[in-house]
Amino acid sequence: MNPLIFTTILMTVLLGTMIVMMSSHWLMIWIGFEMNLLAIIPILMKKYNPRTMEASTKYFLTQATASMLLMMAIIINLMHSGQWTITKVFNPTASIIMTSALAMKLGLTPFHFWVPEVTQGISLTSGLILLTWQKLAPMSILYQISPSINLNILLTMAVLSILVGGWGGLNQTQLRKIMAYSSIAHMGWMTAVLVYNPTLTMLNMLIYIMMTLTMFMLFIHSSSTTTLSLSHTWNKTPLITTLILITLLSMGGLPPLSGFMPKWMIIQELTKNSSIILPTLMAIMALLNLYFYMRLTYSTSLTMFPSTNNMKMKWQFETKRITLLPPLIVMSSLLLPLTPMLSILD
Amino acid sequence: MMTYIVFILSVIFVVSFVGFSSKPSPIYGGLVLIVSGGVGCGIIMNFGGSFLGLMVFLIYLGGMLVVFGYTTAMATEQYPEVWVSNTTVMGVFLLGLLMEVMLVLYVLKSEEVGVVFKFSGVGDWAIYDIGDSGVFSEEIMGVAALYSYGAWVVIVTGWSLFVGVLVILEVTRGD
């Protein structure tokens, strides 16, 4: 793509999300979502093969439907409250429709079907933008309307997302689909605590973005999109292999690593609000996630499967320069001791 | 009849939307889009928005739909689909029509329609009370406000349209 056009379109994606996050008028938020959607389509279609076109079309259709539902909720809200400012949405119907629209944008169950297919059809870098940057805008709106969200609907969607994210990722060998299912599960964790303590949603979003960025950059560095090709990284860069182990375990939420922090805080917040069965279920279903991360680490860092000698080599492309990889790796694994600092967020 | 003109126009609006949502060939979709554009203009005009209605005709129908019609005419196939040619298309069209007819009967018979939110019968759609302030027209004031207080909206929408063109060119360019 022409570099000037590519820069313009990338800046428009950023501008769209910024408009969504900064606006106080519902119509501007909708315009921001549409600008974001329009500008990310050529980024998803960077390589011109039928798979990327199909993936971009699927993404466009689902997100456009979600924008339409959002507009309908905005107009119902206008009809009942007479004003366009972002406050809590007073009308229950508008609130439910808006929650469903934002859930479609995030990829929560039962609207999660587009996430694995779209993520699989596009290149790794585009998948990275899709799974991290595109989650910021809907989550910011959910944060702003959080006092008025219907708890039953949101918690149902969250728990089902954790289940689907864990269960659906079990049979996958393609790395992008694994990351997509991991995204669905993490979105479920984030929205589960939204009504109780929205700050923890933002904390989880921050740590999730760091870990997903790290994982994708490790995949880009080793140019691998399947488990099989990832299992050959020990031959190319053994250090990356170790870091894949650490980051994957952090994504699974294991204690000495920073991925444990949001899960711990969320479970603590939920039990403070006297719901015990729910966090227990959520923690048990997070084990499914951990299982397929462990399977990735098993085949990548922990064992070398018997194979013939010429199968062990990977194509040696010129090393891609990955920005910020070391800080990201450090941040996505070693942040847990900083947990007492969370009190500054109040 | 004039008190119910908005209601009638809205029904025609919905029927033409059903007409192109049931996906005949784009040429026929453009045809009912013309009808729905004209009817939509009528609805806006009945609420006092003569300027906006003329905008619909000029820009939407006279600009965008003409370009759409020409490009579709270039890309059309030998036997385009009509509403009655394909069973699926006809079925969807009839289903949409049926639902619209049932909704209209429901609205006309009962005082209130409480499906998603409450309509108070045909009252909101009748023209005798539009709540105007009487001194100045709200709609022209709105257009003026767009270019003064709403400068940011103009910038954002202008940029969106520009990026839309860039995106379309990028997508259709191919390798």
Cβ of B153 within 8 Å of Cβ of A48? The answer is: no
Distance from CA of A43 to the nearest CA of B (A): 9
Of all residues in chain A, the one with the smallest CA distance to B152 is: A28
Q: How many C-alpha atoms does B79 have within 13 Å on its Cβ side?
A: 3
ipTM of the complex: 0.85
Distance, CA of A9 to CA of A126 (rounded, Å) = 13
Contact A220, A325 (CB under 8 A): no
pLDDT of residue B124: 52
Whether the CA torsion A63, A33, A204, A148 is positive or negative: it is: negative
Closest by Cα among A7, A59, A68, A69 to A38: A59
Closest by Cα among B2, B7, B5, B1 to B122: B7
Distance, CA of A210 to CA of A217 (rounded, Å) = 11
HEC secondary structure over chain A: CCHHHHHHHHHHHHHHHHHHHHCCEHHHHHHHHHHHHHHHHHHHCCCCCHHHHHHHHHHHHHHHHHHHHHHHHHHHHHHHHCCCECCCCCCHHHHHHHHHHHHHHHCCCCCCCHHHHHHHHCCHHHHHHHHHHHHHHHHHHHHHCHHHCCHHHHHHHHHHHHHHHHHHHHHCCEHHHHHHHHHHHHHHHHHHCCCCCHHHHHHHHHHHHHHHHHHHHHHHHCCCCEHHHHCCHHHHCHHHHHHHHHHHHHHHCCCCCCCHHHHHHHHHHHHHCCCCHHHHHHHHHHHHHHHHHHHHHHHHHHCCCCCCHHHCCCCCCCCCCCCCHHHHHHHHHCCHHHHHHHHHHC
- Chain A residues with CB under 8 Å of B156 CB are 19, 28, 31-32, 35
In a structure prediction context, what are the per-residue pLDDT tens digits for chain A, which is 346 residues long?
788 999 999 999 999 999 999 999 999 999 999 999 999 999 999 888 899 999 999 999 999 999 999 999 998 888 888 888 888 888 888 999 999 999 999 999 899 999 999 999 999 999 999 889 999 999 999 999 999 998 999 999 999 999 999 999 999 999 999 999 999 999 999 999 999 999 999 999 999 999 999 999 999 888 888 888 888 888 888 888 899 999 999 999 998 899 999 999 999 999 999 889 999 999 999 999 999 999 999 988 888 777 676 666 777 777 777 778 888 888 888 888 888 887 777 6
- Res. B144 pLDDT band, cuts 50 70 90: confident
Give per-residue pLDDT as tens, B73-131: 898 888 888 888 888 889 999 999 999 998 888 877 876 665 555 555 444 544 444 55
Adjacent-strand bridge partners of B113 = B119
For the segment B64-72, the average pLDDT, to the nearest whole number, is 91
Distance, CA of A87 to CA of A296 (rounded, Å) = 44
Contact A292, A234 (CB under 8 A): no
Distance from CA of B163 to the nearest CA of A (A): 7
Site of tokens 């606006």? A23
The Cα-based distances of A163 to A110, A262, A341, B175 in angstroms read 11, 18, 31, 40
Adjacent-strand bridge partners of A174 = A226
Contact A117, A55 (CB under 8 A): yes
Distance, CA of B163 to CA of B158 (rounded, Å) = 9
- Chain B residues with CB under 8 Å of A28 CB are 152-153, 156
For A131, residues 6+ apart whose C-beta sits below 8 A from its C-beta are A119, A179, A180, A183, A212, A216
Whether the CA torsion A205, A208, A214, A218 is positive or negative: it is: negative
Phi, psi for A282 (deg, rounded to 5): -65, -40
Domain count, chain A: 1
pLDDT of residue A55: 95
Angle between helices A50-81 and A26-44 (to 10 degrees): 180
Angle between helices A124-144 and A26-44 (to 10 degrees): 170
Helix (H) or strand (E) holding B2: none
- Number of Cβ pairs < 8 A linking chain A and chain B: 48
Distance, CA of A114 to CA of B169 (rounded, Å) = 25
Distance from CA of B72 to the nearest CA of A (A): 20
Angle between helices A325-333 and A198-221 (to 10 degrees): 130
Distance from CA of B53 to the nearest CA of A (A): 21
pLDDT of residue A112: 95
Instruction: Give me A255's structure tokens.
Output: 């204690």
For A225, residues 6+ apart whose C-beta sits below 8 A from its C-beta are A124, A174, A175, A176, A219
Give per-residue pLDDT as tens, B49-60: 888 889 888 999
Site of tokens 């909704």? B103
- Chain A residues with CB under 8 Å of B116 CB are 76, 93
Distance, CA of A114 to CA of A61 (rounded, Å) = 10
Cβ of B167 within 8 Å of Cβ of A76? The answer is: no
Closest by Cα among A147, A20, A11 to A87: A147
Peptide bond into A110 cis (omega under 30): yes
Q: Is A74's Cβ below 8 Å from some Cβ in B?
A: no
Percentage, residues of chain B above pLDDT 90: 37
Residues A2-16 as b or e (16 or more Cβ within 10 Å = b): eeebeebbbebbebb
Region of B86 on the Ramachandran plot (φ > 0 left; ψ -120 to 50 alpha; else beta): beta
Distance, CA of A305 to CA of A312 (rounded, Å) = 10
Residue B167 has pLDDT above 60, yes or no: yes
Residue B43 has pLDDT above 80, yes or no: yes
- Chain B residues with CB under 8 Å of A35 CB are 156, 159-160, 163
HEC secondary structure over B88-153: HHHHHHHHHHHHHHHHHHHHHHCCCECCCCCECCCHHHCCCCCCCCCCCCHHHHHHHHHHHCCHHH
Q: Could you tell me the pTM of the whole model?
A: 0.89
CA A177 centroid distance within chain = 12
Give the number of other Cβ atoms within 10 Å of residue B121's Cβ: 15
List the domain range (segments joined by +) for residue A253: 3-344
Angle at A225 between CA A221 and CA A230, to 5 degrees: 70
Question: A residues 20-49 near B, CB within 8 Å?
Answer: 27-28, 31-32, 34-35, 38-39, 41-42, 45, 48
